[in-house]
A = this chain, B = another copy of it.
């Protein structure tokens, strides 16, 4: 670490080389600021894990230097890990009005609100935190009130785009303030950090206006009810649904906790204008003809407990999909959810609905800039150094290549992964040795107590099941007082395969007969290994075998 010298060190705790869990420490000699504090939803192989969060040890070790947490926007992958950090770190949190409202809701639910200081910052405001000054530039994204950051540091200016896109023809001024980026950059930017999510997509992203036109056409032609599902934080698109519904004389009933909640917040803050009489309770629906109804529901990822899944399975209190419904699924399918989503779509077709989804033109627009927009950002900021963020490794590689095309020399583009600190110095840039960083798995209230050995056990339990063998032995002479009994879980239908379990009991008796008393551990080992071999042979399965032997 440099001494007696100006520097800025960026320490990525998450979001570099992966999409999700964005979290970076910005440190100077006197000041540290955490930029974003997101979570990640687990991959399928993380059995039973609810969410994944960054390891905070590194920021907690420099507590006294930390001046605040700056949030770029309110998506879960940028704010979701706050409930696990705030109990340990008492610093103000800064962000836009809408972002702060979402954070307030989140921290209230976690009973952490009273000990947190939430500070709203406005676009254009200059926020001094220690020896850094943060400037906030409005950016267009799939959530309202996102910010890009222009940071004045002791070693020069740094720009962080946040998650952004350029919508050249936006609705209601939801656009990226490219001029603000340009003005800040005109004094020279040392380093640019830029969103890499869609670097693999050529050209420009779709504008929200196109989506609105698509919706308008579908609403216009629908003769029955229209059912819309989308990401519940996409306030702008939710507004469009209300507007188009009003245009075609339809009422909107909303179902799903996160949608209701976000609409409440957005209306309270004046970010949504719902035409009077359009927003109604699902309970009142039956009274209206189908062509005056819109259902706005959660569940765009096929989540089994979401409103859309429940109304498709017929498990919703008051709503059900029926013949003549037109369903709009306005979101990207996250790959891990593809099978659940297509199952849901097929089920809706079985019920006689028509479904417009990903494969329909202009039904969804990404919130992240495509290649040519990323080029525009590079050309606007014209940084000396470039670090691609918010992407998987291949995205970072390709974003660096784009930077090279824009004239940034190869040795001035740096790929960082989580745990790779980078130090900006007056004379240049330096990669620091990787810090030891593990992602933290959250399972219920347990934080970090589920690690690879527990996951490995879950994998075997989940794939092969478990067999418990129990017997009671006389301690002196190792005579069986009770058992062996065998209970299995997730292994086989015991009724069908009773003979296998009976054979297993005989094997245990055999083992006992051929062992001299005394070594309990050896007995357990032998039961385990012999039964595993037996099950592999007769069933080609390898369950967890747990021998429970009691001596009395």
Task: Give chain A's interface residues, CB within 8 Å of chain B.
Answer: 17, 43-44, 47-48, 200, 335-336, 338-339, 342, 345-347, 349-350, 355, 359, 392-394, 397, 443-446, 449-451, 453-455, 457-466, 468, 470, 472, 481-483, 485, 487, 489-493, 496-497, 538-541, 544, 546, 548, 550-552
Q: Is the CB of A462 within 8 A of B48?
A: yes
Q: Is the CB of A461 within 8 A of B468?
A: no
Q: Is the CB of A492 within 8 A of B449?
A: yes
A451 to B497, CA, bound (A): 13
Q: Is the CB of B454 within 8 A of A461?
A: no
Contacts of A468 in B (CB 8 A): 468, 546, 548
Q: A339-B43, A450-B492 are in contact. Are A548 and B465 (CB under 8 A)?
A: no
A450 to B465, CA, bound (A): 11
Q: Contact partner of A489 among B397, B450, B461, CB < 8 A?
A: B461
Q: A457-B490, A458-B461, A463-B48 are in contact. Are A446 and B539 (CB under 8 A)?
A: yes
Contacts of A345 in B (CB 8 A): 394
Q: Is the CB of A548 within 8 A of B397?
A: no
Q: Is the CB of B492 within 8 A of A454?
A: yes
Q: A48-B465, A461-B462 are in contact. Are A350 and B393 (CB under 8 A)?
A: yes
Contacts of A490 in B (CB 8 A): 47-48, 454-455, 457-458, 460-462
Q: Is the CB of B472 within 8 A of A465?
A: no
A535 to B240, CA, bound (A): 45
Q: Contact partner of A44 among B339, B497, B548, CB < 8 A?
A: B339
Q: A393-B346, A394-B345, A489-B461 are in contact. Are A470 and B550 (CB under 8 A)?
A: yes
Contacts of A459 in B (CB 8 A): 462
A483 to B48, CA, bound (A): 29
Contacts of A397 in B (CB 8 A): 349
Contacts of A465 in B (CB 8 A): 48, 454, 457-458, 461
Closest chain B residue, CB of each to CB of A459 = B462
6 tightest A-B CB contacts, nearest first: A462-B462, A444-B540, A335-B338, A48-B463, A457-B490, A461-B461
Q: Contact partner of A449 among B342, B392, B444, B493, CB < 8 A?
A: B493
A331 to B551, CA, bound (A): 59
Q: Is the CB of A349 within 8 A of B483?
A: no
Closest chain B residue, CB of each to CB of A445 = B540
A524 to B35, CA, bound (A): 51
Q: Is the CB of A463 within 8 A of B458?
A: yes
Q: Is the interface of A mostly helix, strand, loop or mixed?
A: mixed
Expressed in whole angstroms, the minimum distance between the Cβ of A322 and any Cβ of chain B is 16
Contacts of A546 in B (CB 8 A): 468, 487, 489
A516 to B82, CA, bound (A): 49
A342 to B44, CA, bound (A): 14
Which of A342, A355, A465 is most buried by chain B, counting CB atoms within 10 A of its CB? A465
Q: Is the CB of A349 within 8 A of B462?
A: no
Expressed in whole angstroms, the minimum distance between the Cβ of A334 and any Cβ of chain B is 9
Q: A349-B393, A444-B540 are in contact. Are A493 and B462 (CB under 8 A)?
A: no
A457 to B552, CA, bound (A): 32
Contacts of A445 in B (CB 8 A): 538-541
Contacts of A487 in B (CB 8 A): 546, 548
Contacts of A350 in B (CB 8 A): 393
Q: Is the CB of A482 within 8 A of B359?
A: no
> Can you pick out 18 interface pairs between chain A and chain B where the beta carbons lie within 8 Å of each other?
A17-B346, A48-B465, A335-B339, A350-B393, A443-B541, A446-B492, A446-B540, A449-B497, A454-B490, A457-B490, A458-B463, A458-B490, A462-B490, A472-B552, A481-B552, A485-B548, A487-B546, A552-B552
Q: Contact partner of A444 among B359, B394, B539, CB < 8 A?
A: B539
Q: Contact partner of A394 among B349, B485, B493, CB < 8 A?
A: B349
Expressed in whole angstroms, the minimum distance between the Cβ of A176 and any Cβ of chain B is 25
Contacts of A444 in B (CB 8 A): 539-541
A463 to B459, CA, bound (A): 9
Expressed in whole angstroms, the minimum distance between the Cβ of A178 and any Cβ of chain B is 27
Q: Is the CB of A541 within 8 A of B338?
A: no
Q: Is the CB of A335 within 8 A of B342?
A: yes
A347 to B483, CA, bound (A): 51
A449 to B394, CA, bound (A): 43
Expressed in whole angstroms, the minimum distance between the Cβ of A366 and any Cβ of chain B is 14
Closest chain B residue, CB of each to CB of A489 = B457
Contacts of A393 in B (CB 8 A): 346-347, 349-350
Q: A446-B540, A454-B493, A481-B552 are in contact. List 4 more A-B contacts (CB 8 A).
A: A346-B392, A445-B540, A457-B490, A487-B548
Contacts of A454 in B (CB 8 A): 465, 490-493
Q: A338-B338, A461-B462 are in contact. Are A394 and B355 (CB under 8 A)?
A: yes
Q: A349-B397, A446-B539, A457-B490 are in contact. Are A359 and B44 (CB under 8 A)?
A: no
A449 to B464, CA, bound (A): 13
Contacts of A461 in B (CB 8 A): 458, 461-462, 465-466, 489-490
